[in-house]
Amino acid sequence: MQASSTVTPSTDGISAVASTCAPGFTSTETRAWFGLLHSSAQLTRELDGDLVATHGLPLNAFEVLMRLSLADSGQVRMSELARQVVLSLSGLSRLVDRLERDGLLERRTCPSDARGFFATITPAGRERLAEAQSDYLANVRARFLERFSPEELELLAGFWDRVAPGGCRPAPTT
């Protein structure tokens, strides 16, 4: 199936495919898949910008601190944390370096594996997270959650569980 080249500008300046399909996709599949990609990118940019502007804390740093705070002991093995926040191990390592310099977390060796490390949230990290939490939640509600009914949110949660089981659960501590 070939995609048509008919494109109509949308009101936000992003071109929307008008009654066409991406190659290999139906019209509904095109809207579902590219809608997910675009929505995710847009929400990430907006939430990141809000957190940086109001708290000096990028979204990926906020997520790392949040996941650490949810772990029973406040610490998560680096390799597991990288998987949970969708960063490469080297990308997470650079982020952890910055957060460690800022005193928001510390790196600890794993007692059962000398090659492994834990990222551990500090009291300053918990405080910084608490300062940003209400603004973050308000922005997530306004930009995403309030656009759906409770029933639609339940459906969305079920869809995400089907695609990425366990993706919204806190990282295990070991």
| CATH number of the CATH domain containing 91 | 1.10.10.10
In a domain, 22, yes or no: no
Average pLDDT, the chain: 85
Model confidence pLDDT, tens digit, residues 52-94:
999 999 999 999 999 999 998 999 998 889 888 878 888 888 9
In eight-state DSSP terms, residue 104 is: S
**Does residue 98 surpass a pLDDT of 70?**
yes
For the chain, the domain total comes to: 1
Q: Which domain holds residue 72?
A: 56-140
Interatomic CA distance for residues 19 and 118, integer angstroms: 50
- Evaluated on CA atoms 41, 47, 50, 51, the torsion sign reads negative
Within the chain, residue ranges assigned H as helices are 27-55, 59-70, 78-84, 89-101, 123-143, 150-163
In a domain, 126, yes or no: yes
Tokens, residue 114: 């000398």
Tokens, residue 142: 């306004």
In a domain, 131, yes or no: yes
Identify any residues that bridge with 7 across adjacent strands, giving them in sequence order: 17
Amino acid code (one letter) for 35: G
**Given this model, what pLDDT does residue 110 score?**
83
**Does residue 17 surpass a pLDDT of 80?**
no
In a domain, 130, yes or no: yes
Task: Tell me how far CA of residue 19 lies from CA of 22, 23, 70, 171, in angstroms.
Answer: 10, 13, 44, 41
Output phi, psi for 4, to 5 deg. -75, 155
